Structure 1
Amino acid sequence: MPRDEIEVPKELREFMLEEAEETFLGQKNGANKQYRYGNLHIREYNEKFLVHTDKIDPRKDPVGHLVHDAPEILIGLVCAIFSGSQVIKKLDKNSKKKSLASGLLLSIICGYLGYSTTKKLKNIWSK
Protein backbone atom coordinates (compact mmCIF):
# COMPACT_ATOMS: atom_id res chain seq x y z
CA MET A 1 0.00 0.00 0.00
CA PRO A 2 1.47 3.39 -0.95
CA ARG A 3 2.32 5.64 1.97
CA ASP A 4 -0.23 8.27 0.92
CA GLU A 5 -3.12 5.78 0.78
CA ILE A 6 -5.69 5.71 3.58
CA GLU A 7 -7.40 2.48 4.62
CA VAL A 8 -11.05 2.72 5.68
CA PRO A 9 -12.39 -0.57 7.12
CA LYS A 10 -15.91 -1.41 5.96
CA GLU A 11 -16.95 -2.57 9.43
CA LEU A 12 -16.12 0.89 10.73
CA ARG A 13 -18.68 2.28 8.32
CA GLU A 14 -19.70 2.06 4.71
CA PHE A 15 -17.77 4.84 3.03
CA MET A 16 -18.75 6.06 -0.39
CA LEU A 17 -19.41 9.46 -1.82
CA GLU A 18 -22.72 9.67 -3.66
CA GLU A 19 -21.10 11.70 -6.43
CA ALA A 20 -18.23 9.22 -6.93
CA GLU A 21 -18.34 7.42 -10.27
CA GLU A 22 -17.33 3.82 -10.82
CA THR A 23 -14.42 3.73 -13.25
CA PHE A 24 -12.07 1.38 -15.07
CA LEU A 25 -9.31 4.03 -15.06
CA GLY A 26 -6.49 3.12 -12.68
CA GLN A 27 -4.84 -0.02 -11.44
CA LYS A 28 -7.35 -2.11 -9.52
CA ASN A 29 -4.69 -3.86 -7.40
CA GLY A 30 -7.13 -6.67 -6.64
CA ALA A 31 -10.05 -4.38 -5.78
CA ASN A 32 -13.62 -5.44 -6.53
CA LYS A 33 -14.47 -1.98 -7.88
CA GLN A 34 -12.87 1.43 -8.11
CA TYR A 35 -14.36 4.89 -8.07
CA ARG A 36 -13.25 8.43 -8.84
CA TYR A 37 -14.39 11.70 -7.36
CA GLY A 38 -12.29 14.52 -8.76
CA ASN A 39 -8.69 13.62 -7.94
CA LEU A 40 -9.82 11.10 -5.32
CA HIS A 41 -9.26 7.45 -6.30
CA ILE A 42 -11.20 4.93 -4.19
CA ARG A 43 -10.66 1.16 -4.39
CA GLU A 44 -13.29 -1.10 -2.85
CA TYR A 45 -12.26 -4.48 -1.41
CA ASN A 46 -14.38 -7.03 0.49
CA GLU A 47 -13.41 -5.72 3.91
CA LYS A 48 -12.10 -2.18 3.27
CA PHE A 49 -11.71 0.84 1.03
CA LEU A 50 -8.29 2.21 0.05
CA VAL A 51 -8.31 5.90 -0.82
CA HIS A 52 -5.63 8.16 -2.25
CA THR A 53 -5.45 11.45 -4.11
CA ASP A 54 -4.00 11.65 -7.61
CA LYS A 55 -2.28 14.82 -8.79
CA ILE A 56 -4.21 14.77 -12.08
CA ASP A 57 -7.70 13.40 -12.77
CA PRO A 58 -7.25 10.88 -15.64
CA ARG A 59 -10.75 11.60 -16.93
CA LYS A 60 -9.76 15.22 -17.62
CA ASP A 61 -6.09 14.84 -18.60
CA PRO A 62 -5.06 11.21 -19.31
CA VAL A 63 -1.53 12.08 -20.48
CA GLY A 64 -0.93 14.39 -17.51
CA HIS A 65 -2.13 11.61 -15.21
CA LEU A 66 0.32 9.15 -16.78
CA VAL A 67 3.20 11.62 -16.45
CA HIS A 68 2.52 12.69 -12.86
CA ASP A 69 0.68 9.77 -11.23
CA ALA A 70 1.52 6.66 -13.26
CA PRO A 71 4.85 7.17 -15.05
CA GLU A 72 5.52 3.42 -14.89
CA ILE A 73 2.72 2.80 -17.39
CA LEU A 74 3.96 5.52 -19.74
CA ILE A 75 7.56 4.26 -19.59
CA GLY A 76 6.41 0.66 -20.08
CA LEU A 77 4.50 1.67 -23.21
CA VAL A 78 7.43 3.65 -24.60
CA CYS A 79 9.83 0.73 -23.96
CA ALA A 80 7.42 -1.70 -25.63
CA ILE A 81 6.87 0.45 -28.72
CA PHE A 82 10.54 1.35 -29.15
CA SER A 83 11.94 -2.16 -28.68
CA GLY A 84 9.33 -3.85 -30.85
CA SER A 85 9.80 -1.39 -33.69
CA GLN A 86 13.59 -1.78 -33.54
CA VAL A 87 13.37 -5.58 -33.80
CA ILE A 88 10.97 -5.41 -36.73
CA LYS A 89 13.28 -2.96 -38.55
CA LYS A 90 16.40 -5.08 -38.02
CA LEU A 91 15.10 -8.57 -38.74
CA ASP A 92 14.91 -10.18 -42.15
CA LYS A 93 12.29 -8.43 -44.22
CA ASN A 94 11.57 -11.69 -46.13
CA SER A 95 10.24 -13.34 -42.99
CA LYS A 96 7.55 -10.91 -41.87
CA LYS A 97 5.79 -13.41 -39.58
CA LYS A 98 9.02 -14.12 -37.70
CA SER A 99 9.82 -10.40 -37.47
CA LEU A 100 6.36 -9.55 -36.13
CA ALA A 101 6.39 -12.40 -33.61
CA SER A 102 9.89 -11.50 -32.40
CA GLY A 103 9.00 -7.81 -32.24
CA LEU A 104 5.85 -8.53 -30.28
CA LEU A 105 7.63 -10.82 -27.81
CA LEU A 106 10.47 -8.37 -27.22
CA SER A 107 8.06 -5.45 -26.87
CA ILE A 108 6.12 -7.33 -24.18
CA ILE A 109 9.32 -8.19 -22.30
CA CYS A 110 10.82 -4.69 -22.57
CA GLY A 111 7.50 -3.04 -21.75
CA TYR A 112 7.16 -5.14 -18.60
CA LEU A 113 10.78 -4.47 -17.59
CA GLY A 114 10.32 -0.73 -18.10
CA TYR A 115 7.06 -0.78 -16.14
CA SER A 116 8.32 -2.86 -13.22
CA THR A 117 11.63 -1.01 -12.91
CA THR A 118 9.91 2.38 -12.91
CA LYS A 119 7.31 1.17 -10.37
CA LYS A 120 10.11 -0.02 -8.03
CA LEU A 121 11.98 3.27 -8.39
CA LYS A 122 8.76 5.24 -7.79
CA ASN A 123 8.17 3.27 -4.56
CA ILE A 124 11.75 3.91 -3.40
CA TRP A 125 11.54 7.64 -4.16
CA SER A 126 8.17 8.02 -2.41
CA LYS A 127 9.52 6.69 0.92
Structure 2
Amino acid sequence: MILMECSEPCREFCRWIETLPHHRKYVLRKEEYPALPNCFKETLLGEAVPGSVRQLRGPAGSHVHEFPDRWVLHRDIADAEADPLGHLLSDAPEYLVSAIAGLATALLAKQKRDGRNALLAGWSMTAFLLLLGKMGKTIGEDDSEKEAQAPRLKSGF
Protein backbone atom coordinates (compact mmCIF):
# COMPACT_ATOMS: atom_id res chain seq x y z
CA MET A 1 0.00 0.00 0.00
CA ILE A 2 1.32 3.43 -0.93
CA LEU A 3 0.92 5.96 1.85
CA MET A 4 0.12 9.04 -0.22
CA GLU A 5 -1.59 10.75 2.73
CA CYS A 6 1.47 10.63 4.95
CA SER A 7 4.01 13.39 5.13
CA GLU A 8 7.65 12.45 5.24
CA PRO A 9 8.09 12.99 9.03
CA CYS A 10 5.41 10.42 9.83
CA ARG A 11 6.12 7.87 7.09
CA GLU A 12 7.91 5.51 9.50
CA PHE A 13 4.97 5.70 11.91
CA CYS A 14 2.50 4.89 9.10
CA ARG A 15 4.64 1.95 7.97
CA TRP A 16 4.59 0.65 11.55
CA ILE A 17 0.78 0.70 11.47
CA GLU A 18 0.83 -1.51 8.36
CA THR A 19 2.71 -4.19 10.34
CA LEU A 20 0.08 -4.42 13.09
CA PRO A 21 -2.26 -7.40 13.19
CA HIS A 22 -5.92 -6.57 12.70
CA HIS A 23 -8.24 -5.95 15.68
CA ARG A 24 -5.51 -5.87 18.35
CA LYS A 25 -5.52 -2.75 20.54
CA TYR A 26 -2.37 -0.72 21.14
CA VAL A 27 -1.91 2.14 23.60
CA LEU A 28 0.12 5.21 22.75
CA ARG A 29 0.59 7.36 25.86
CA LYS A 30 0.06 11.06 25.25
CA GLU A 31 3.23 11.80 27.24
CA GLU A 32 5.17 10.24 24.36
CA TYR A 33 2.68 10.98 21.54
CA PRO A 34 0.92 14.27 22.34
CA ALA A 35 -0.60 14.40 18.84
CA LEU A 36 -1.10 12.06 15.91
CA PRO A 37 0.02 12.88 12.36
CA ASN A 38 -2.23 15.04 10.17
CA CYS A 39 -3.28 11.99 8.13
CA PHE A 40 -5.50 10.96 11.08
CA LYS A 41 -8.90 12.57 10.68
CA GLU A 42 -11.78 12.77 13.15
CA THR A 43 -14.70 10.51 12.26
CA LEU A 44 -18.17 9.62 13.47
CA LEU A 45 -17.91 6.10 12.01
CA GLY A 46 -17.33 3.56 14.76
CA GLU A 47 -18.56 2.57 18.17
CA ALA A 48 -18.33 5.03 21.01
CA VAL A 49 -16.10 3.73 23.77
CA PRO A 50 -16.84 4.83 27.36
CA GLY A 51 -14.35 7.48 28.44
CA SER A 52 -13.12 8.29 24.95
CA VAL A 53 -13.14 11.89 23.76
CA ARG A 54 -13.33 11.26 20.00
CA GLN A 55 -12.48 8.81 17.23
CA LEU A 56 -10.05 9.16 14.36
CA ARG A 57 -9.27 7.11 11.27
CA GLY A 58 -5.94 7.02 9.53
CA PRO A 59 -3.81 5.09 7.05
CA ALA A 60 -3.87 1.32 6.59
CA GLY A 61 -7.31 0.92 8.18
CA SER A 62 -6.21 2.42 11.49
CA HIS A 63 -8.96 3.41 13.92
CA VAL A 64 -8.10 5.40 17.03
CA HIS A 65 -10.07 6.26 20.15
CA GLU A 66 -8.70 9.28 21.96
CA PHE A 67 -8.77 9.32 25.76
CA PRO A 68 -7.52 12.16 27.98
CA ASP A 69 -4.24 10.35 28.68
CA ARG A 70 -3.77 7.99 25.71
CA TRP A 71 -4.61 6.99 22.17
CA VAL A 72 -5.96 3.44 21.70
CA LEU A 73 -5.27 2.29 18.17
CA HIS A 74 -6.39 -0.80 16.30
CA ARG A 75 -6.30 -1.74 12.66
CA ASP A 76 -9.42 -2.77 10.77
CA ILE A 77 -9.36 -5.16 7.82
CA ALA A 78 -11.38 -2.74 5.64
CA ASP A 79 -11.39 1.03 5.97
CA ALA A 80 -14.89 2.12 7.06
CA GLU A 81 -14.79 5.35 5.08
CA ALA A 82 -13.30 3.97 1.86
CA ASP A 83 -15.23 0.68 1.86
CA PRO A 84 -18.24 0.80 4.23
CA LEU A 85 -19.77 -2.47 3.02
CA GLY A 86 -16.42 -4.27 3.19
CA HIS A 87 -15.99 -2.90 6.71
CA LEU A 88 -19.41 -4.22 7.75
CA LEU A 89 -18.67 -7.63 6.25
CA SER A 90 -15.16 -8.08 7.63
CA ASP A 91 -14.91 -5.93 10.76
CA ALA A 92 -18.47 -5.50 12.05
CA PRO A 93 -20.66 -8.28 10.62
CA GLU A 94 -22.91 -8.28 13.69
CA TYR A 95 -24.41 -4.96 12.57
CA LEU A 96 -25.20 -6.18 9.07
CA VAL A 97 -26.60 -9.54 10.19
CA SER A 98 -28.77 -8.04 12.93
CA ALA A 99 -30.15 -5.33 10.60
CA ILE A 100 -31.05 -7.85 7.90
CA ALA A 101 -32.64 -10.22 10.42
CA GLY A 102 -34.60 -7.35 12.01
CA LEU A 103 -35.89 -6.21 8.64
CA ALA A 104 -36.88 -9.78 7.71
CA THR A 105 -38.67 -10.20 11.05
CA ALA A 106 -40.60 -6.94 10.57
CA LEU A 107 -41.61 -7.92 7.03
CA LEU A 108 -42.75 -11.38 8.14
CA ALA A 109 -44.75 -9.93 11.03
CA LYS A 110 -46.40 -7.40 8.71
CA GLN A 111 -47.16 -10.12 6.16
CA LYS A 112 -49.03 -12.07 8.83
CA ARG A 113 -51.31 -9.03 9.18
CA ASP A 114 -49.73 -7.98 12.45
CA GLY A 115 -48.63 -4.56 11.20
CA ARG A 116 -48.98 -2.94 14.61
CA ASN A 117 -46.31 -5.14 16.16
CA ALA A 118 -44.13 -5.57 13.05
CA LEU A 119 -41.86 -2.65 13.88
CA LEU A 120 -41.51 -3.75 17.49
CA ALA A 121 -40.70 -7.32 16.41
CA GLY A 122 -38.10 -6.06 13.92
CA TRP A 123 -36.40 -3.78 16.43
CA SER A 124 -36.44 -6.50 19.09
CA MET A 125 -34.82 -9.00 16.74
CA THR A 126 -32.21 -6.44 15.67
CA ALA A 127 -31.30 -5.59 19.27
CA PHE A 128 -31.19 -9.22 20.36
CA LEU A 129 -28.94 -10.32 17.51
CA LEU A 130 -26.69 -7.29 17.87
CA LEU A 131 -26.17 -8.04 21.57
CA LEU A 132 -25.62 -11.71 20.80
CA GLY A 133 -23.11 -10.78 18.08
CA LYS A 134 -21.26 -8.41 20.40
CA MET A 135 -21.06 -11.07 23.11
CA GLY A 136 -19.73 -13.62 20.62
CA LYS A 137 -17.16 -11.18 19.29
CA THR A 138 -16.00 -10.32 22.81
CA ILE A 139 -15.43 -13.97 23.65
CA GLY A 140 -13.29 -14.50 20.55
CA GLU A 141 -11.15 -11.36 20.76
CA ASP A 142 -8.35 -10.21 22.98
CA ASP A 143 -9.80 -6.90 24.18
CA SER A 144 -6.85 -5.92 26.34
CA GLU A 145 -4.83 -2.84 25.52
CA LYS A 146 -1.14 -3.42 24.90
CA GLU A 147 1.51 -0.75 25.31
CA ALA A 148 2.83 0.07 21.84
CA GLN A 149 6.40 0.62 20.84
CA ALA A 150 5.69 2.81 17.85
CA PRO A 151 8.39 4.78 16.07
CA ARG A 152 8.94 8.19 17.57
CA LEU A 153 7.11 10.95 15.76
CA LYS A 154 9.21 13.81 14.50
CA SER A 155 7.83 17.31 14.61
CA GLY A 156 6.49 18.85 11.44
CA PHE A 157 3.76 16.40 10.49
Q: TM-score, normalised by structure 1?
A: 0.83
CA distance in 1, matches of 2:35, 2:28: 8
User: What residue is the counterpart of 1:4 in the other structure?
Assistant: 24
Bigger relative contact order, structure 1 or 2, given CA contacts below 8 A and separation 6+?
2
Structure 1: any 5+ residue segments left out of the alignment?
A: 93-98
User: What residue is the counterpart of 2:53 in the other structure?
Assistant: 32
Equivalent positions of 1:1-127 (< 5 A) are: 4-30=24-50, 31-38=52-59, 39-92=61-114, 99=115, 101-127=116-142
Runs of 4 or more above 3 Å deviation: none
Structure 2: any 5+ residue segments left out of the alignment?
A: 1-22, 143-157
CA distance in 1, matches of 2:137, 2:31: 32
- State the aligned residue count: 118
Going from structure 1 to structure 2, the CA distance change for 1:36 and 1:80 (only over 3 Å counts) comes to same
Q: TM-score, normalised by structure 2?
A: 0.68
CA distance in 2, matches of 1:102, 1:15: 50
> In angstroms, what is the RMSD of aligned CA positions?
1.7
Identity percentage over the alignment? 25
